[in-house]
Structure 1
Amino acid sequence: MFRLIWAASVWTHSILSYAPTNLLFAFTRTRRGLRWGIPAMLLAIPYLLAAYWCVATIEAGGPGWLNLLVLLCAWNTIKLTLNGPITVILLIRARIQEAVARRRARRSEYKQPHEYAEVHP
């Protein structure tokens, strides 16, 4: 039983890794994509509107399977909303690390003797 659950979770993970929001997460977690975290938060608005539309349709007598779409849209809204501040924090951390590396490179450059400064007998 445990093996079946494990296999199902691995299969589900492999399928969901290609979901649009997960691809967006993968992109915004790279160094180049960190600056797109805040604009990507704007994609939460259509998901929120879709969830609202599904709830309104369900209340008007729509099919019950729309509840699954409400959960999916709400989950994606939460993920995208939280991803923005997280990417800002990661971007700040990356820029600080880059500044420290540049500063260390400049300091090590000044400590090493230059070739043109050598005196040849």
Structure 2
Amino acid sequence: MIRLTWNLSQKIAPILRAWLPTNVLRDALRTRRGLKWGLPCMLLAAPYFYAAAICRALIEDGGPGWLHLLVILCIWNTFKMLWIGPVSFTKLIRLRLQERADFRHGRAPTRVGSSATRV
């Protein structure tokens, strides 16, 4: 059963990563050009939290039970958006420090995610 669940999650993960908006945004923010947008992206947590609050109010007023899934999804996306900001800011600072060091030593700039070894 665990093996079946693991294999199914391995098949579904690339599809979800390619089509869900927060995953697409997260992948775009991990590029060199996207790192600077990490902190403003944290503001997207507010609409997700508001949507979760609306769904919760609808549930309490006798709404359908499937809204619980939307509440969980909205809260998950809220935390994901809140986490993107500090992570991208940290990566941006590290990358800029590395670029400055490369410039001072006359080396070619390194890219984000490059597997080249540094001298």
TM bucket (normalised to shorter chain) is 0.7 to 0.9
| Distance in structure 2 (CA, Å) of the matches to 1:11 and 1:17 | 11
* Alignment match, 1:90: 91
* Alignment match, 1:46: 47
* Alignment match, 1:37: 38
* Alignment match, 1:117: none
Pairwise CA RMSD: 1.3
| Distance in structure 2 (CA, Å) of the matches to 1:84 and 1:68 | 25
* Alignment match, 1:10: 10
Aligned-partner residue type, residue 20 of structure 1: P
Q: CA deviation at 1:96?
A: 0.1
| Distance in structure 1 (CA, Å) of the matches to 2:76 and 2:6 | 23
Q: CA deviation at 1:16?
A: 1.1
Q: Secondary structure at the match of 2:33?
A: coil
Q: Secondary structure at the match of 2:106?
A: helix
Aligned-partner residue type, residue 26 of structure 2: F
Give the TM-score taking structure 2 as reference length. 0.84
| Distance in structure 1 (CA, Å) of the matches to 2:39 and 2:78 | 13
Task: Tell me which structure has the larger Cα radius of gyration.
Answer: 1
1:46-80 deviation digits (Å, cap 9, x = unpaired): 11110000000000010111000000000000010
Q: Where do 1:1-121 residues align within 5 Å?
A: 1-18=1-18, 19-105=20-106
Q: CA deviation at 1:15?
A: 1.9
Runs of at least 4 residues off by over 4 Å? none
| Distance in structure 2 (CA, Å) of the matches to 1:82 and 1:99 | 26
Q: Percent identity?
A: 54
1:70-107 deviation digits (Å, cap 9, x = unpaired): 0000000001001101111110000000000000018x
Aligned-partner residue type, residue 73 of structure 2: L
Aligned-partner residue type, residue 4 of structure 2: L
Aligned-partner residue type, residue 9 of structure 1: S
| Distance in structure 2 (CA, Å) of the matches to 1:22 and 1:76 | 9
